[in-house]
């Protein structure tokens, strides 16, 4: 282990060649190469790509005006999650904060700085999907709470259930009802968007292939907290929506900060729909999405 740390320090901090490391340690180059590979595998060395989050104040101002937003953060595509974490840290939040789950939100949680808040209560604002060995299913709310020296409050129910009656019964359960009540007093909520083509709800079995096909044929472009919308921000399937557990669009409209985080062309139309529906008042996104939604916001 001492040799491994020595070799790693020389290679990645002092920028020494493997030949130099071999000469210093008495090893041969093959042994140095193996040692450095083991250092990465065992977590002694962790290499991170730190994307820039250079903001575009011109696009941000235009986006706020066109889409009537409280705030906007626009960066390059690779820096969106990091920018969202920085934005949350800059808000000096306290009390209850609501968050969703998903691939994008797990990246936001990863970039959220340690100590971003002090003693916050972080509540999950929508039901979840069955755990799978995928990075995007990391417990976002738990990470938010741990980094904010706070408490994590899960919503221990599926995102979408089999019937509206089942949803009603679950929401009347004391534990579930308490979590939903807590999520409704969170004046800051942060969530991402799901593209209909790559829906995690389809992959997890929460919606069936036939339901997915019907959603697409009826104009669904993606979901917000499991609620599928078209480009005008209208819920596409009322029956499916009645089976969905979590905050409603009316809940989102009444938040002080409803922060939507999105990047990538596949989600541009669902972001457009969410903006038209008025369920987002802070948008953190990439330059291409910002430009797209501004160009089409008034198209009807």
Tokens at 244, concatenated: 């969905």
Decide: residue 289, CB within 10 A, 0-12 exposed, 13-18 middle, 19+ buried.
buried
pLDDT digits (tens, 9 = 90+) for 13-35: 887 889 989 999 999 999 999 99
Per-residue pLDDT tens over the stretch 151-192: 999 999 999 999 999 999 999 999 999 999 999 999 999 999
| Helix runs in the chain, H state only | 2-12, 18-25, 29-41, 57-67, 80-90, 103-111, 140-147, 164-172, 174-183, 200-203, 209-217, 238-241, 249-253, 268-277, 287-296
φ and ψ of 189, to 5 deg? -130, 145
pTM of the model: 0.81
- In this structure, are residues 247 and 271 in contact, taking their beta carbons and an 8 Å threshold? no
């Amino acid at each position: 282990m001492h040799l491994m740390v020595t070799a790693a320090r020389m290679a990645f901090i002092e920028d020494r060649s493997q030949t130099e490391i071999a000469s210093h340690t008495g090893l041969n180059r093959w042994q140095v190469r193996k040692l450095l590979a083991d250092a990465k595998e065992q977590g002694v060395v962790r290499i991170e790509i730190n994307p820039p989050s250079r903001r575009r104040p011109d696009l941000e101002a235009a986006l706020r005006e066109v889409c009537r937003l409280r705030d906007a953060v626009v960066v390059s595509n690779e820096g969106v999650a990091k920018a969202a974490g920085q934005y949350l840290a800059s808000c000096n939040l306290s009390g209850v904060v609501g968050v969703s789950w998903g691939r994008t939100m797990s990246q936001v949680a990863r970039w959220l700085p340690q100590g971003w808040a002090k003693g916050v209560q972080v509540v999950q604002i929508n039901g979840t999907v069955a755990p799978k060995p995928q990075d995007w299913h990391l417990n976002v709310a738990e990470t938010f709470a741990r980094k904010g020296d706070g408490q994590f409050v899960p919503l221990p129910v599926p995102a979408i259930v089999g019937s509206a009656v089942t949803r009603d019964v679950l929401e009347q359960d004391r534990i579930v009802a308490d979590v939903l009540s807590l999520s409704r007093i969170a004046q800051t909520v942060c969530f991402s968007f799901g593209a209909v083509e790559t829906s995690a709800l389809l992959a997890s079995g929460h919606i069936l292939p036939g339901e997915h096909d019907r959603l697409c044929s009826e104009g669904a472009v993606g979901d917000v907290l499991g609620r599928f919308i078209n480009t005008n921000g209208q819920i596409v399937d009322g029956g499916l929506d009645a089976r969905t557990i979590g905050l409603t669009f009316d809940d989102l409209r009444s938040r002080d900060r409803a922060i939507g985080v999105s990047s990538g062309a596949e989600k541009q139309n669902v972001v457009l729909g969410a903006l038209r529906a008025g369920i987002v008042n802070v948008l953190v996104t990439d330059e291409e999405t910002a430009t797209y939604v501004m160009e089409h916001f008034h198209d009807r």
